[in-house]
Chains A and B, each alone.
Chain A
Amino acid sequence: MYLTRFRVNTARPGARRLLSSPQSLHAAVMASFPGLLPTTSTGGAEGPRVLWRLDHNARAEVFLYVVSPGRPDLTHLVEQAGWPAAALDPDTPGWQSRPYTPFLDRLAAGDVWEFRLTANPVHQIRRKDGEPTKRTAHLTPVHQQGWLLDPKRQERAGFRILEKPQDQRLLPGGTTHHNHPHHGDRYQLTVRDERALSFAKSREERSQAHRVKFVMVTFDGRLEVTDPDALRRTLTQGLGKAKAYGCGLMTLAPVPTPPAPGE
Chain B
Amino acid sequence: MSVLVLRLAAPLQAWGASARFVRRTTESAPTKSGVIGMLAAAQGLDRDDDAGLSRLAALRFGVRIDQPGTRVRDFQTAHHAVTGKSMPLSERFYLADAVFVAALEGEGAFLDELHTALRAPVHPLFLGRRSCPPALPVELATRDSSLLQALRDEPWQASGWYQRLRGKEHTVSLSVLREPVQGEEHGDILRDQPLSFAAAHRRHALRSVVSTTVEVPNPRAVAPRVPAAAHPVPRHEPFDAVEEETL
Contact = CB atoms under 8 A, between A and B. Distances in A.
Interface stretch (B109-117, B133-141, B232-240): B232-240
Contacts of B242: 3, 98-100, 103
Contacts of B238: 3, 5, 65, 116, 251-253
A103 B236 contact: no
Nearest to A98: B242
Given A99-B245, A99-B246, A102-B245, A55 B240 contact: no
A39 interface: no
Interface residues of A, number: 27
Interface in A99-128: 99-100, 102-103, 106, 113-114, 116
B239 A114 contact: no
B185 interface: no
Nearest to B237: A253
Top 4 closest A-B pairs, CB basis?
A251-B238, A102-B245, A116-B236, A98-B242
A56 interface: yes
A258 interface: no
A253 B240 contact: yes
Contacts of B74: none
Interface string A41-64: 000000000000001111100000
B184 interface: no
B1 interface: no
A190 B235 CA distance: 13
B241 interface: yes
Contacts of B243: 98
A100 B138 CA distance: 78
Contacts of B241: 103, 113, 252-254
A59 B233 CA distance: 11
A55 B236 CA distance: 9
A192 B241 CA distance: 23
Given A103-B245, A106-B245, A98 B233 contact: no
A96 interface: yes
The majority secondary structure among interface residues of chain A is strand
Nearest to A235: B238
Interface string B205-247: 0000000000000000000000001000111111111110110
Interface of B: 229, 233-243, 245-246
Contacts of A190: 234
A252 B238 CA distance: 5
A55 B234 CA distance: 11
A102 B246 CA distance: 9
B234 A220 contact: yes
Given A113-B241, A253-B241, A58 B236 contact: no
Given A56-B233, A57-B233, A190-B234, A5 B246 contact: no
A254 B241 CA distance: 6
Contact of A254 (B234, B240, B245, B246): B240
A114 B236 contact: yes
Nearest to B238: A251
18 contacts: A3-B238, A59-B229, A98-B239, A99-B242, A99-B246, A102-B245, A103-B241, A103-B245, A116-B238, A192-B233, A193-B233, A220-B234, A220-B236, A251-B236, A252-B238, A253-B238, A253-B241, A256-B235
A233 to B, nearest CB: 17
Given A3-B239, A106-B245, A253-B241, 10 more contacts: A3-B238, A59-B229, A98-B245, A99-B242, A100-B242, A102-B245, A102-B246, A116-B234, A190-B234, A192-B233
B245 to A, nearest CB: 4
A192 B238 CA distance: 19
A252 B236 CA distance: 8
A253 B239 CA distance: 7
A142 to B, nearest CB: 19
A256 B240 CA distance: 10
Interface in A160-215: 190, 192-193
Contact of B236 (A99, A193, A253): A253
A99 B229 CA distance: 34
B162 to A, nearest CB: 35
A100 B238 CA distance: 11
Nearest to A107: B241
Contacts of A192: 233
Q: Which of A5, A96, A114 has the most CB of B within 10 A?
A: A114
Nearest to A100: B242
A122 to B, nearest CB: 24
